[in-house]
Amino acid sequence: MAQERLSMRKTKEILRLKTLGLSNRQIAASTSVARSTVADYLKRAEVAKIAWPLAQDLSDDALEARLFCAPPRPAAKAEPNYRYIHMELKRKGVTLMLLWEEHLEANPGGYSYSQFCVLYRRWKKKLKPSLRQLHRAGEKLFVDYAGQTVPVVDGSTGEVRPAQIFVAVLGASNYTFAEATLSQDLFCWTGSHVRAFNFFGGVPRAVVPDNLKSGVLKSCRYEPDLNPAYAELAAHYGTTVIPARPVSPRDKAKVESGVLVVERWILARLRNLTFFSLAELNRAIAELVTRLNEKPFQKLDGSRKSLFLELELPALGPLPATPYQFARWKKARVNIDYHIEVEGHYYSVPYRMIGNQLDVRLTATVVEVFRGGVRITSHIRGYKKGGFTTKEEHRPKAHQRYLDWKPSRIIAWAEKTGPATSELAQIIMAKRTHPEHGYRSCLGMLRLGERYSPQRLEAAAARALGTGAHSYKSVKSILEKGLDKLPEEEGALQLPLIDHGNLRGPGYYNQKEKQCL
């Protein structure tokens, strides 16, 4: 509230009493005026060079005018270029302090640093939220899927599949990439990242995804658990993954804004079109993405593309010599035959790994096996179901074989069930290049006796021998369908027990084992 002015009589009394040596407190008590008012009037008199006694020709109006004359208006200060400031702050190492110092060099006597900051922040509030956030050039790439999908029609069957829309937005320039994929699985997720990096022509220092399961196995505010393949992709491109914190909208505001722009500017324009292939849809999206990136900003100079070329592209890291090759990771336990099963095919590992659970990296051409992050072996990938890929150096010496797992032990175990089961076990091992390859099938067959009873297993083995079906799956099928309970005449043709050179018998294996000791 403005201070009410005193009468000139009291003003003169304050000046007179001061010359008598009274303190401000004493003057205030004498004139019934606040002490702060007394101090203010005395200060004004000092500035106006007014002293007691007053000049005889100084009227009350003249005295008031000299005490309360308006201060001279300072010269107008040069207004900072707020758009320039906003863009320069995106460059690495540029600060408001540096920009203020440069402003003062060009405009001496300009605003103070604090006022400079206040004016800039006041201007920044007028921007859209998506433009208001400050991100350094080349620092972050925000990625997510749009909430909307686009239907793709199979021209031959008429089946309609919803295509997912992947969106990637660079933080400093808002330069946008978008494409359609058939799903949000790990293969599509990593593939979209590879194509996004190629589109930008470089790699940002960090990728910020939402907590999508394809990328983040376990979301955590402080230590999220990344999918191994996603972490491998980041390592391949020399970047890092910083998932958005759960329940933290500001962490992903940039990509959510980018997704909204893609939905309104691209997907809305495609709503009345019919696409019969993913490639056709992606061609339409690519054309609209180009138009979006070249569209001028409303409140800033330039466009997404011009800002990207000027600021972002020079700050991106280089692309690697070869693109990332998608690999899936899974866990597999080593069986007594020192092999692991990966998608129906069996691969050998050093026999000392029997019983251990190992990590397997699977690409289209190679299978790599790791223990504790260290690769212990690799194989060319095999696609034959039930096939074996074995390295000789993985096989144990005869006297160390499988911690006492020997062919004779399995045959002896099978003999406890019956002669047909024993004979079938011998045939299964005899048909393999290495008898060890048949261990898994024999053990599986013997465990069927625990589930269905030894008597039924023996009957099923006899029926399998009669039909020439020498496999674990055949015995399991016979038991599941109850064929072992049918009378002989209702079952398949029973053949006599086979007698040929491949049937070595337990004595053969005992003899071979003794020779190796």
Q: Where are the domains of the chain?
A: 8-67, 82-126, 140-315, 328-395, 404-516
C-alpha to C-alpha distance for 364 and 128, rounded to whole angstroms? 46
Question: Letter for the amino acid at 58?
Answer: L
Q: Which residue has the higher pLDDT, 274 or 218?
A: 274
7-34 pLDDT, tens digit each: 888 888 888 888 888 888 888 888 888 8
Q: Which of 101, 309, 278 is nearest to 181 (CA)?
A: 278
Identify the residue whose tokens are 């008012």.
37
- Give the SS3 label for residue 484: helix
Strands 206-209 and 240-241: parallel
CA distance 305 to 292: 9
pLDDT at 504: 56
Entry pTM:
0.49
Task: Note the pLDDT tens digit of each residue in 160-173.
Answer: 999 999 999 998 88
In terms of C-beta density within 10 A (0-12 exposed, 13-18 middle, 19 or more buried), how is residue 21 classed? Answer: exposed
140-315 fold:
Nucleotidyltransferase; domain 5 (3.30.420)
Taking residues 416-420, report their average pLDDT.
83
Residues 53, 271 contacting (CB under 8 angstroms): no
Amino acid at 154: D
> Can you give the pLDDT at residue 242?
83
- The 3-class secondary structure across 19-74, one letter per residue, is HCCCCHHHHHHHHCCCHHHHHHHHHHHHHCCCCCCCCCCCCHHHHHHHHCCCCCCC
DSSP 193: H
Give residue-wise pLDDT tens across range 218-230. 444 433 456 778 8
**Which segment of 141-150, 320-329, 403-412, 465-474 scores lowest on mean pLDDT?**
403-412
- Give the Cα separation of 391 and 264 in Å (integer): 57
Q: Which tokens go with 199?
A: 């589109």
